[in-house]
Structures are given as C-alpha cells and as structure tokens.
Structure 1
Amino acid sequence: MIRNNDIVSPYQIAMITIMTVISVEVFSIAADTADILGTDGWLVIVILGIINIFTAMVIVRLNSIFPGKTIAEYSQIIIGTVPGKVLTSFFAIYLIIVIAYVTRVFTEVVKMFLLFRTPTEVIMLSLILVSTYIVRGGVECVARINELIFPILFIPFTIVMLFGLPNMDFSNLRPILQTPPGKVLASIPRMIFSFGGIELALYYIGFMKEPKKAYKSLIISVLFILLFFVMVIVFCIAAFGAKSTTKAIWPLVMYIRGISLPGLFIERLDGVILSLWVLTVFTTIVTVFFTASYSISKVAGTREQKQYVLPLVIIIYYLALQPGSLAELYEWGNAIFPYAVSAFMYVVPVMLLIIAGLRKLEVKQNEGN
C-alpha cells in the first residue's frame, strides 16, 4: 500500500527504467554483441527490444490488476502468502547480487581510467555508503534522483558521441545482415542481461496512482534503450571494426578517448564522460538497493525498509569483493544473470498474470491506495 508521499509519476517510471537498464552494461555491449554476431551485433538488441516491449505490456497489465501494490504484495494475493514471500526473497537475493556486480564493474572502470591509485575497497565502500542516504529517503527520493540525473548525463553524452563521427569508417559495418537467423536467435539468451532492470517496474509501478499510464512510459523507455544501445554498437564498430571492438574490454571508453577537439580547454573527454557516468551507476545502485530493502521489509512484514539498508551494505560489499579479477567477475555475471533475468523479467510476470487471470483476481483502485 502506498502513502501520499510515495508517489511515482509516469515520467519518473521512464527515467528509472532507462537509468537502471543502461548503467554499466553500455561500456561492454559493443564488444559483447560484436563477439557473437560481428557487424550484425545490433540485430540481437533490436530483437530483444521488441520482445521487451511486450514484456513491458505484461508488467503494466499485471500491476494494473493490483493498483497501489507491488509484486512483493500482490504475489502473496495471487499464489498465497508463503509462496509469495519465497518469491520475493529470491527477488531480493537477485537484486543484492546485481548491486554487488554493478558496484564491482563500476569500480574496475573508475580505477582503470580515473582513480588509478585508489584502493578498490575504498571506491566500492564509498559508492555503497553514499547510496544509502538516498535509499533511506524512500521511493520518492529514488524517483527524483533518476529524474534529475537523466538530462545531466544524456545530453552531453550524445553531443560527445556525435563529435566522433569524423573518426568513423562506415564500411566497417559491412557485411550487413549476413548472419544466419539461427545464430541471431541463439545469441538472445546471452544478451538478455542487456535489458535487465525492466523487471523493477514490477515494484515501481505499484507506487503510481494510475498504473495504466505506465504503458506509454515503459514502451518509450524500451525504445530509448534500444536506440541508445544500437547507436553505441554502430558507432564503436564503425570506428574500430568488428574484430577490434571484440578485443576491447570497454569499447565505448576507447571511442570517447579517440575524440580530439582542437582548441577545447578540456583535454580528456573520457574523464568528463566517465565522471558523469558515476552518476548513472549511482542511480542504478540506489534504485536496485531500495527495491532490495523494500522486498526484505515485505518478507519480514515491517512497514519501513530503512532498518535493512545498513545491514545490506555489509553483504553487498562482501559479495562485490569475491571475484578475484575482472574476467572472473564477468564469468560470474554470465553464469547467473541470463537465467535470473529470464526468470524475473519474463517467466514470473507471465505466470503471475496467467494465474491471476485464471483466479479472476482484481483489486479495486480505492483498495490499493
């Protein structure tokens, strides 16, 4: 049940979705897709974008049946109290792992390109601790920070990306559409995590007064993410070629580093963009962190989620330190996230919607608020 000061607008739903999904994945998405499909890497993103438009519709429909409630609450109505709490517990575990993964990837990027001599532990702990301030402020603070940072990041980022056009050779994008359809479809499971974060709408739409207004917001969000990812992939391959893009750990950073603007008072554009990107990862951690603590509060049956924030810091910090190297971290992610994202973004919403339909469940608007 939502309170008057815990209201999220349709625009904020879009901002939360975009900021959460793009996050750190944008650094490596060009390399990942080029490694699988070469110059046709953008195809799998387009296909996933189309799939996730339908996923967004399922999520909004499910939340519209139970206005004013999140998946942590209406899952208990649909499948029973105990199974619902078990599902929410698994969701919380998944979210905690996501925070640890994002924190560690972000730390590796910052340590390599910005804070060379700063210990990994200091960077990680600083990021996690600062995020707790917003998380303890509640869903309204989370929504507002996403809304605030979106234009600060994406307007300058898009302008900088366009400055790299002179460095591109669009012949590097050939051959086009030469990959067998079977290989393209087979690449979908590996790239599912690229859109991971849309499933958080199962929670945040529950804080809207009129959930049905989220249809437009989520669809626009998915289309924006699709176009943004395709732009990054196409620009990186056009600049470096598919083979060189595949070999790079973070092609996007290489692309920005290659931009030279004579007479510009800023010598390193990559430093500026990465500094701005700190805000993006910060919002992602805040958004997922709040969702995890909120999930735990619903499992425990407590009204507030604040008391679970600081204990989670210890767990997240410990998990983030476990991978011994960046390669091990990515192995960890590839082993967990394709299955976890598939379950929570596709299987769970569809199954809950089917069961709710079979049981003819519906909560009236005035009951949800």
Structure 2
Amino acid sequence: MSKPLGHEQEIEEKELMYSIASMILSVGVLTLPRNIAATTRYSDGWMSIVLAGTIAVALVWILSTLAASFPKQSYFEFISRIASRPVGYMLTGLFSFSYLLFTAFELRSVADVTKHYLFDKTPIEFIGLAFMLVVIYAVYGSRVGLLRLNMLFFPIVGAVLTLSLLLNVGVVDVNHFKPMFVTDWKGIMKGAQASGFSFLGFEIVLMYAMLMKNPQRTVKAAVKGTMIPFATYIVLYIFTIGVLSYRNTAELAFPTVEFAKEAEVPGAFFERFESLFFTIWIMTIFNTTAMSLDVCMLSLKSIVPKASKMTKLLVLSPLIYLISFVPQDNSELNSFGTVISFFHFMCCIMLPAFIFIAAKWRKVKPDG
C-alpha cells in the first residue's frame, strides 16, 4: 500500500486535466493533418478525427474509472490486486518500456523539427543532447511541480494557436473543402487509425491518478483533458485544409508549421510567425517528453523500489538518447513512430482496459 501523500505532493483536477491535454497535444499535432489528408479527400478528414476522438474519450473514461476505483494506489498495486502480482510486474514493466520508447521518439522528433525550422546548421545530435539535458533537469525535480508546469505553459500555447487560426481566417479558401463526403469508409477508417496515434498520452492517468487530492474527480479531469485536443484537432485540420488544400497538406512534412507560415499579421510587423508558433510549441513538446520520462521512472519505481531517482536517470537517459537516433531518416522515423504507437496502444491502453473488465467481472474492490 502506498504511503499517504502530503498536501504538497497532491494535484487538483485542473492540473491533471492540463497534463493530459499537454501530453496529447505535442509532436502529433505537427503531423496530424498530413497523416489524415494522405488517406481522405478534401475536408472529409474531420470525420476520421471525430471517430478516433470518440474512441479516445471512451477509452480514457475506462482507464480513469479503473484508476479512480483504487484511490491513492499506484498502477502496480491495483493491477496486482486485480490480476496477481506477477501480472502486475509484467504490465508495469511493459508500461515503463513503452514510455521509454515514446520518450526517445519525442526527443528525436523535436530535434528534427528544430533543426528544420530553427537551427538548420546545428548538428541534430547536439540539439537532441541539449534538449535531453533540460528534460533530465526537469524530471529530477518535483513530480508535482512538473505537472503544475502544464498550467503555466498550456494557456500560452493555446493563445498562440488561437492567434494563428485567427490570422489565417482571411487566407482560407472554401473551395478547398469541396466536394464533401466523397471519401469511402475505408479511407475514413484509415484516417481514424492515423489520427488515433495523435490521441495517445491520456493513459498517464493510470500513473498520476494516485496523486489526486480528490480521487472522485479523476474521471472528469481525464475526459475534459482529452476533449481539449479533440476539439483542437478538428478546428486545426479544417483550417489547414482550407489554407493549404488537402493535396498540399498530404505532401508536407509538418503542415501545421507551414500553416502558421501563411498567417497574415496586420501591418506586417512580424514576418515569420511560424518561428514564434514553433518556439512556443516547444513548451508543450518539452512537457510531454518530461512527463514521458517521469512516467517511465514512476513505473520502474514499483519494480525496483530501492533504486534512487538519480540512478534511474543515469541508466535510462543514455539509453533513450541512443535509441532516439537509431532511425536514419524521416521515413525510418515515421516507421519507428508507427511501431511504437501500436506497441504503446496495446501495452498501455488495451491491456489495462481488459484489466478493467476483469475487475468488474471479479468485483474487485480497493479493500480487497
């Protein structure tokens, strides 16, 4: 059984909500329009987002309900209570390994995008190392402090994203939306699968629910935290198609950043809005990478409780850095991301969902 947490180690509903929203809205938002436009036609991709988002909300409800049913208990503790201790070790280990790979992917992605748009002459390995060191510094500090950082960064990111949408209103071409409803159901399903990967991240509720000051609000916070990216993805996709067209969107590596380039700033006093957009967006990517590494370490804490935080960081950080540079080019990185997403979906979402069904079937309660 976990020890009672002090007030300074607990989080409120808003902190969990913003953490989940930030976790989902990271690198995925930079490539989401491209992935959907490649499988759907014109503006039909919004249907894929609605389908994927609805499934994501249903799954986050299941996972948050599972976590909230065992207040103040860690993922390892309630999984062990439901399915036995060996299963608890196995699922917690898979959770940790999945987030290790997820952290490596985030690290490589931010290094690639940063080199492409900001530091084109700087070696990508150095960019990745510098970013990794900052992430390590953040994770070594207070876990609750890291989660509360989302409340500081997320409103800023949201404001810049809203500004980019408003500045592009005059550039939207309604002809890019026509004709509508011309994509067959296979294309919609493929688009939903592609956009579904951009919703990954809400499963951190399984790890952070034990920090909730009011566990009964876990489900509400998790669902609201998923609904924010849900709505953002739909609006962003429609605007991107309206500005760039679906054909151009499907061919661009990072259509969201290219979309920000089209922003028309009144008075032309700011010519490279995309630089501001991406610089601010790094805040969200930083929080996502830091939380991914933190979740990886939090999972390991249940398996190797005697290892100190510094020891785990010293072991995991070089491993993550090396894995992140295994892909040699953008094509390999995309394939790497797809494999990680499938593995992550199975280990961190579907398996816990089955555990939820088992808990209901066996009527397992926190008190045993």
TM class by shorter chain equals over 0.9
* Distance in 1 between residues matched to 2:216 and 2:81, nearest whole Å: 20
* Matching residue's letter, 1:250: F
* Matching residue's letter, 1:247: E
**1:190 is paired with a residue of what secondary structure?**
helix
Which residue of the other structure, out of 17, 21, 25, is the alignment partner of 2:20? 17
The percent identity for this pair of structures is: 24
- Measured after TM superposition, the shift of residue 325 of structure 1 is 0.7
Decide whether the 8 Å contact of 1:65 with 1:361 is kept in 2.
no
Show the counterpart of 2:135: 131
1:251 paired with 2:251, answer no
Q: Output one character per residue of 1:276-325: Cα deviation in whole Å (capped at 9) or x when no partner.
A: 11111110011111100111111113385443122211011001111101
Show the counterpart of 2:229: 225
- Measured after TM superposition, the shift of residue 195 of structure 1 is 0.5
**1:249 is paired with a residue of what secondary structure?**
coil
Q: Which runs of 5+ in 1 are unaligned?
A: none
Decide whether the 8 Å contact of 2:98 with 2:340 is kept in 1.
no
* Distance in 1 between residues matched to 2:96 and 2:267, nearest whole Å: 50
Alignment of 1:88-237 (within 5 A): 88-237=92-241
Per the normalisation by structure 1, the TM-score is 0.94
* Distance in 1 between residues matched to 2:59 and 2:102, nearest whole Å: 20
- Measured after TM superposition, the shift of residue 335 of structure 1 is 2.7
Decide whether the 8 Å contact of 2:91 with 2:347 is kept in 1.
no
* Matching residue's letter, 2:5: R
Per the normalisation by structure 2, the TM-score is 0.94
Alignment of 1:1-369 (within 5 A): 1=2, 3-4=5-6, 5-39=8-42, 40-302=44-306, 305-345=309-349, 347-363=350-366
* Matching residue's letter, 1:7: E
Q: Output one character per residue of 1:169-200: Cα deviation in whole Å (capped at 9) or x when no partner.
A: 01211222222234323443333211010111
Runs (4+) of structure 1 exceeding 4 A deviation are none
Q: Output one character per residue of 1:101-137: Cα deviation in whole Å (capped at 9) or x when no partner.
A: 1111111111011011111111111111111222122
* Matching residue's letter, 2:91: L
* Matching residue's letter, 2:360: G
* Distance in 2 between residues matched to 1:136 and 1:78, nearest whole Å: 32
* Distance in 2 between residues matched to 1:294 and 1:305, nearest whole Å: 9
**2:101 is paired with a residue of what secondary structure?**
helix
- Measured after TM superposition, the shift of residue 262 of structure 1 is 4.5
* Distance in 1 between residues matched to 2:265 and 2:353, nearest whole Å: 50
* Distance in 1 between residues matched to 2:195 and 2:160, nearest whole Å: 27
* Matching residue's letter, 1:326: N
* Distance in 1 between residues matched to 2:265 and 2:177, nearest whole Å: 25
Q: Which runs of 5+ in 2 are unaligned?
A: none
* Distance in 1 between residues matched to 2:11 and 2:64, nearest whole Å: 14
